[in-house]
């Protein structure tokens, strides 16, 4: 088609409006004209020069029923109150590509020196059988999940500020305990 030189076409040959059409993808890398890049890696230093403070597994575990050991090799870093996981491969790319910036997978925030996990940080949840019943909600039907997403609360006696939410053993995220009730908080 005219004007689509260099565009990777992805689409079906089937009928309908999408027949014969595709989606365009591109990748661009920007280089500063002066050749220098803020935070550029110096291969002689042995690591990427990136901002932020590295968090330890105990910083994450102190927030509740979380397992930092679920994360693949890499680093958890606090960037001005926002906590991200940076995979080891991404850190290696930062070292080989001066000026490349990568933010990572958001895990939560730091506030008052405490880690507060994002409710969607399910990668930090242990297997449900590793948690006491008071710290997990493992449901077999979608109705309780839909209730939480609609803003309704569910009852789960116990203590602590967070509980793991699971669907048939699959980790979905973290819910906040308010008394005997659990709520989904996306804040």
Per-residue pLDDT at 154 = 93
Mean of the per-residue pLDDT values for the chain? 79
Question: What is the distance between the alpha carbons of residues 113 and 97, in angstroms, rounded to a whole number?
Answer: 32
- Convert the pLDDT of each residue in 45-56 to its tens digit: 334 567 788 999
List the structure tokens of 14. 């089937």
Q: Please check the confidence at residue 42 and state whether its pLDDT lies above 50.
A: no
The answer to whether 50 and 94 are in contact (CB under 8 A) is: yes
Question: What is the distance between the alpha carbons of residues 40 and 153, in angstroms, rounded to a whole number?
Answer: 47
Question: What is the distance between the alpha carbons of residues 47 and 68, in angstroms, rounded to a whole number?
Answer: 22
Per-residue pLDDT at 43 = 28
In angstroms, how far is CA 58 from the centroid of its own chain?
18
pTM comes to 0.67
List the structure tokens of 52. 């932020």
Per-residue pLDDT at 65 = 85
Question: What is the distance between the alpha carbons of residues 49 and 43, in angstroms, rounded to a whole number?
Answer: 10
Average pLDDT over residues 58-67: 88
- Convert the pLDDT of each residue in 81-121 to its tens digit: 999 999 888 888 776 766 666 678 999 999 998 999 999 99
Question: What is the distance between the alpha carbons of residues 91 and 88, in angstroms, rounded to a whole number?
Answer: 5
């Amino acid at each position: 088609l005219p004007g689509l030189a260099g565009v990777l076409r992805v689409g079906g040959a089937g009928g309908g409006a999408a027949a014969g059409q595709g989606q365009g993808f591109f990748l661009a890398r920007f280089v500063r004209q002066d050749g220098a890049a803020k935070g550029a890696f110096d291969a002689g230093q042995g690591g990427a020069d990136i901002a932020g403070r590295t968090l330890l597994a105990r910083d994450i575990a102190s927030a509740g029923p979380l397992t930092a050991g679920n994360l693949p090799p890499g680093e958890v870093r606090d960037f001005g109150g926002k906590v991200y996981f940076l995979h080891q491969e991404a850190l290696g790319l930062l070292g080989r590509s001066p000026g490349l910036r990568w933010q990572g997978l958001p895990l939560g925030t730091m506030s008052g020196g405490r880690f507060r996990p994002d409710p969607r940080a399910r990668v930090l949840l242990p297997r449900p059988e590793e948690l006491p019943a008071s710290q997990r909600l493992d449901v077999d039907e979608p109705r309780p999940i839909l209730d939480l997403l609609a803003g309704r609360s569910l009852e789960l006696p116990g203590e602590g500020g967070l509980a793991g939410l699971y669907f048939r053993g699959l980790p979905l995220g973290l819910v906040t305990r308010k008394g005997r009730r659990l709520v989904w908080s996306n804040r």
